[in-house]
Structure 1
Amino acid sequence: MDDIYDITIIGGGPSGLYSAFYAGLRDLKTKIIEYKSTLGGKLHVYPEKIIWDIGGLTATPAQKVIENLIEQGLTFNPTVCLNTKVDLVTKKDDLFVIETSTGEKHFSKKVVVAVGGGIISPIKLHVEGAEKYEVSNLHYTIRGIQSFKNKSLLISGGGNSAIDWAKDLIGIAKHITVIYRGENLSAHEAQIRYLQENGVPIMTNTQIQSLVANEEKTKIKEVILENVATNETSTIVVDDVLVNHGYDRDHSFTFDAPVNPERDVEYQYYITTNGKGLTTVDGIYAVGDISKHENKVYLITGAFQDAINAINDIKLSLEPTADKVAKVSSHNEIFEARNREIINKTLVNR
């Protein structure tokens, strides 16, 4: 049989990466399976977003948080499978068999589901010919806010992400217009008020009807807008168009036991756990945003706590005589050599 792992983590976002770190700390043989080509999860949606609410970490761009999480998650050299989509998880005797879309099979004693909200893909703009501008000035994510310096921007979307984009681009872009097909924006009131106080036009009941190309047919130069209430149209000149109409979420992998994600009002999909990550199936755990329990906290720090609880429970399940928790890092002999290297490097650089 192929290599057997103590833990296989499905998902390489914050909860999956911290699970891998803590599993290594507990001396468990670990594998991460990630659908995307990179680790880091949905933080990649807006890498310049500033994150404030991770304990001990002052305001930090998401990209830096991603880099830190990956470095930490790979501390104990887990096996990492990128570009790998899980289709089915089954249990045979005491092992889980994880089947992928390519027909590969992975074998594990325990499984940790850390898929967040699922495989997310931005909902594309349903306007004829829109796809050809994705390589130029039609955007579904922001990779660098400075690329919009002194530009005239049209932002389509009324949720928190779209309004956050507009807020963060004030003072960088030359002009920003926000449109939303609905009558009332769904973003936080304080964020909307901030846009209004800074003179950002917000056009509700408005959608993109068509895109007008420049002479070279390579970029959008104008956007035809339609008021869905009156059917009136107007034209706006743009340098770039940013679209955030939400995300399609793929939860397509299934289990041969009843732990499929269920619908919830606030978090669209979740798997109920016992507070220690354990689902209704012995050996399958869920952590991060996909997990729901009585004391759940939907923050990155909450995902870390989920990971710790799940890995400790797994360790005791595999080794009943093991310590209930990992020894703290300041007294953990596993870090002695690494600490010495860091201290010596610090002394050399002084």
Structure 2
Amino acid sequence: MDHKIYDVTIIGGGPIGLFTAFYSGMRKLKTKVLESSGQLGGKITMFYPEKTLRDIGGIRKITGGDLVKELIRQAETFSPTILFHQHVSGLQRRPDGIFMLSTENGGLHLTKTVILTVGAGIFKPIKLDIPGAERYESGNLHYAVDDLNRFRNKRVLISGGGNAAVDWANELAEIAESITIVHRREAFSGHESDVSEMVKNARLYTPYCISALHGTGNRIERVAVKQVGTGEEIWLEADEVVVNHGIQGDYGGILNWGLKMKDERIEVNGAMETNIPGIFAAGDAAIYPHKLKLIAGGFAEGPVALNSAVRYMCPDAEPMAMYSTHHEDFVDENGREKEPQAR
């Protein structure tokens, strides 16, 4: 058990949790980050490290992996406590108002406030529901793309029609020999401009779904795809197969805390407050009217949640941190840049 009482404990070390940890340092709070996996970056690190992101203000484009590296460096500015393999499940409140967070490995963490930046929970890809598919997972069947070079000059077949499938089709089109898209519907749910680009670069099979795999050892050589309406089946040759059928999230024991939920997310108000005083949520975990479902939106929600946590602890506190251009940890009395002191 960590007997220290932290001002704020952020559950989830993805992009929003990391930026919130930085902002917590700006407000001079004793900060802890609990991450359930063995690495930071959340869904981006797990599934999209090579994906190019273009919807963050001031950054024309950046790979997911590079963004996570910068977020980690930024989060470490004020030396928060960051712990891995901490799958938080239990919650109790002591008579003095301190929360006790328990983890599945027996850990116990004490904190005045909690900010949930847990996304959709513990992420797991929805796997291909084909008998024997698991034998190819150590070969050329992929649920994430973590090395673009693996697909260079290859015949790539992608199954799926959401944003991830469309994005990977466009990313890989620049280096692959060919791209084939198999989707069970006629329409794609990606952004219009991205879908238009994909249509120019890929061979499409819609509405089709994968019905069988054939290969040698752990490598797929041919893929059977079936027309959804007629049942007509054809075989396609492929060197690499990418399946983007979505991600399943699991909040685990957090669902037993009594949080108000809506559409499988944690309901908050405009201050990122949940129905439990002292507990806040931000990023993909949070839902409220007119939510902007972008990383950029989450980068605003995290500081809002943090500021609400400060006011929960001290109602007379300033409503927000000083702007970084004037913050005493970054500039001296003469306005010169300085390195912040770790806490």
TM-score (norm 2): 0.90
For 2:119 and 2:197, the matched residues in 1 are separated by 30
1:128-171 superposed Cα distances (whole Å, 9 cap, x missing partner)? 22212212211111112232111011111111211211122213
Aligned-partner Cα distance in 1 for 2:53–2:259:
32
Q: 1:256 to 1:129 in 2, by over 3 A?
A: closer
Per the alignment, in what secondary structure is the counterpart of residue 150 of structure 2?
helix
Match of 1:276 among 271, 274, 280: 271
Aligned residue in 2 for 1:92:
94
C-alpha separation in 2, matches of 1:241 and 1:283: 46
Structure 1 stretch 67-76 or stretch 290-299: which is displaced more? 290-299
Contact 1:89 1:255 in 2 (8 A): no
> How many residues get paired?
334
Q: How does 1:183-262 map to 2 (within 5 A)?
A: 183-198=186-201, 200-214=202-216, 217-254=217-254, 258-262=258-262
Q: Is the 8 A contact 1:254 1:260 kept in 2?
A: no
1:101 to 1:221, Cα distance in 2 relative to 1, 3 A? same
Aligned to 2:167: 164
Task: Look up the match of 1:124.
Answer: 127
Matches of 1:306 and 1:76, distance apart in 2: 20
Letter in 2 for 1:335: F
Match of residue 5 from structure 1: 6
Residues 165-202 of structure 1: CA deviation (Å, up to 9, x unaligned): 1122213111111111234333344433323333x221
Cα distance between partner residues in 2 of 1:224 and 1:131 = 16
Kept in 1, the 8 Å contact 2:330–2:339? The answer is no
Write the deviation string for residues 206-250 of structure 1: whole angstroms up to 9, x where unpaired.
Answer: 222222223xx1311112222232233221111111101111111
Unaligned runs of 5+ in 2: none
For residues 253 and 299 of structure 2, the distance between their equivalents in structure 1, rounded to whole angstroms, comes to: 24
Question: Of 132, 142, 147, which aligns to 1:144?
Answer: 147
Amino acid at match of 1:202: L
1:24-46 deviations in Å (ceiling 9; x for gaps): 11111111111121111122221
Return the offset for 1:21.
0.8
Matched residue SS, 2:119: coil
The CA deviation at 1:280 is 1.3
Q: 1:193, 1:19 → 2: CA distance?
A: 36
CA distance in 1, matches of 2:110, 2:339: 35
> For 2:317 and 2:252, how far apart are their aligned partners in 1?
36
Q: Which runs of 4+ in 1 moved over 4 A?
A: none
Which stretch shifts more, 291-300 or 73-82? 291-300
Equivalent pair of 1:160/1:186 in contact (CA under 8 Å): yes
**Which secondary structure does the structure 2 equivalent of 1:226 belong to?**
strand
RMSD of Structure 2 on Structure 1 (CA): 2.2
Higher mean C-alpha displacement, 59-68 vs 48-57: 48-57
Residue 58 (structure 1) shift: 2.5
The alignment status of 1:334 with 2:329, answered yes or no, reads yes
Residue by residue, what CA displacement relative to the aligned partner does 1:251-270 show, whole Å, maximum 9, x if unpaired?
2232665314321xxxxx32
TM-score normalised by structure 1 residue count:
0.88
Residue 207 of structure 1: SS of its match in structure 2?
Answer: strand
User: Using the alignment, how far apart are the partners of 2:117 and 2:163 within structure 1?
Assistant: 23
1:112 matched residue in structure 2: 115
Asked if the contact 1:160–1:188 (Cα under 8 Å) also holds between the matched residues in 2, the reply is yes
> Would you say the 8 A contact 2:50–2:64 is kept in 1?
yes
SS of the equivalent of 1:110 reads: strand
Q: Which residue of structure 2 aligns with residue 36 of structure 1?
A: 37
